[in-house]
Amino acid sequence: MPLRLRTIVAGAVLAALTCAAPASARIIEVGSAPPEATPTCPSSPCLAVSRTTGYQAKVVDSRSVYIVPADGRIVAWTISLGKPNTRQIDFFDSNYGEASAGLTILRRGKRLFHRVRGQSPIEKLQPYFGQKVQFPLTTSIPVKKGYVVGLTVPTWAPALTQLLDNGSAWRASRAKGKCDDTDTQTAQTRLQQRTQYRCLYRAQLTYSATLITTPKPNKKPKN
């Protein structure tokens, strides 16, 4: 092949490779915004989430920390757990059962009625007390921009900060007038369940979720 022709071919290949940039997805930790939340246990009182599904409605002055920012799939979730002492564990276990939790994806509706659109398996938590543990999902959860990442606790979980006055607050799937009833089972455990999240608590749940966004194709070059 003549030198001039080889040069032209090489230039064409280089241009093609330059145009074929990868359509990359992003990895985003939904719920990881500062300040980092610290569970109370084993301090007294040892505060825990019990028998409900909750989501962080606000972190300081932001309402978007736990809202899915783009379409994609949740591939893992993380929870920071307090380290309750033996007496505290015995109290919660005897009243609520063995500590457990899972991730729940909610589609927001009017008047705080939200619908369950995805869930992870429920995980046993006691082996991880005092740790920040990440659970990878065998089957990822598809999500859309605007969905909310929540936490379902069918029993109890030491995953709650002390009461805060910095504006942070979380909502639970409890009815109006029942916010002090932490014994009745209100955890959302079925897909498509719809319920009202009327109860607001001035504290922070200690969980997050790992999102891989849907890759977007490259823009076609203009002719």
Long-range (24+ apart) CB contacts under 8 A made by 161-167 are: 161/37, 161/38, 161/39, 161/40, 161/47, 161/203, 161/204, 161/205, 161/206, 162/40, 162/43, 162/47, 162/203, 163/202, 163/203, 164/202, 164/203, 164/204, 165/202, 166/35, 166/60, 167/58, 167/60, 167/61
Q: Is 155 among the domain residues? A: yes
Q: Is 5 among the domain residues? A: no
N-term to C-term CA, the chain: 29
Q: Is 35 among the domain residues? A: yes
- Give residue 33's pLDDT: 74
Number of compact structural domains in the chain: 1
Q: Is 95 among the domain residues? A: yes
pLDDT tens digits, one per residue of 15-34? 444 445 566 789 999 998 76
How far apart (Å, rounded) are the C-alpha atoms in residues 4 and 21?
27
| 103 in Cβ contact with 138 (< 8 Å) | no
Task: Identify any residues that bridge with 211 across adjacent strands, giving them in sequence order.
Answer: 28, 74
Give the pairing of strands 132-143 and 72-80. antiparallel
- Give residue 22's pLDDT: 61
Q: How buried is residue 135: exposed, middle or buried, by Cβ count under 10 Å (0-12/13-18/19+)?
A: middle
Q: Is 64 among the domain residues? A: yes
Write out residues in the chain with pLDDT < 70, as ranges. 1-23, 34-35, 223
Could you tell me the pTM of the whole model? 0.86
Q: Is 178 among the domain residues? A: yes
| 159 in Cβ contact with 206 (< 8 Å) | yes
How far apart (Å, rounded) are the C-alpha atoms in residues 165 and 125?
28
Domain that holds residue 86: 24-213
How far apart (Å, rounded) are the C-alpha atoms in residues 32 and 66?
8
